[in-house]
Amino acid sequence: MNSEQLLVSDRIIVPLDVPTPMQAIALIDKLPQVTFWKVGFELFIGAGAEVLKVLKQRNKRIFLDLKLHDIPNTVVGACTSAKLYDIDFLTIHATSGRKTLEMAAEVARGSGHLKLLAVTLLTSINSRELAFDLKIPLELPEYVLQMALLAQESGISGAICSPREAGQLRKICDRDFLLVCPGVRPSWSETKDQKRVMTPGQAIAAGADYLVIGRPITQATNPLEAWERICEEVAGAM
């Protein structure tokens, strides 16, 4: 399915950033309109695969955000195990290197609908931290582009990137190379620890295929109303 065929609700991925299965189920039931949920470290370590089973029982799509980063054989083993959960997206750090990316991509190709997404650079990192703390001798947009191109050349299905880099990547990467953007915040919400942000409408206009939006929805006074406002904004941008 390409991005043009996606419904508005399919484009918005909501993180289950809670520590227990009970809290996760309560959030899923509170927002039945959400079709695509992200399970990250906190919940997966606390709940294991049980929460994935719950999501599958409710016919939800699953983004398992584990940001794999290890030697090739270890990552291949993790991808092989992840296939058993019948998930849709799984993340791997682009800095794992070409060999790891290529081997992981080969595992994903034999799994049906599992798509691997390469993490280019965490959206909590800004240009100054990239240059002075991580000592990367590239401008931030150039670094993100190089990581995305490495992933694409290695057979990975898409990249995780800030919406601020989405426009550049969309112009250069293949059209079927998915761009999944965290760091998306409506104008009426706080940015918190995200440093390279855009609004949902801006991110879609820049070329993002999927938006990962958590706290503006899950921590809103009325989560359903917040979800609907964001859907309206995305629909307008489309």
Q: Are 60 and 38 in contact (CB under 8 A)?
A: no
Quickly list DSSP for the chain.
Answer: --GGG--HHHHEEEE---SSHHHHHHHHHH-TT--EEEE-HHHHHHHTTHHHHHHHHTT-EEEEEEEE-S-HHHHHHHHHHHHTTT-SEEEEEGGG-HHHHHHHHHHHHTTSS-EEEEE-S-TT--HHIIIIIS---S-HHHHHHHHHHHHHHTT--EEE--HHHHHHHHHHS-TTSEEEE--B--TTS--TT--S-B-HHHHHHHT-SEEE--HHHHTSSSHHHHHHHHHHHHHHH-
User: Does the active-site annotation cover 115?
Assistant: no
Catalytic residue among 67, 99, 135, 195, which? 67
Residues forming the active site = 67
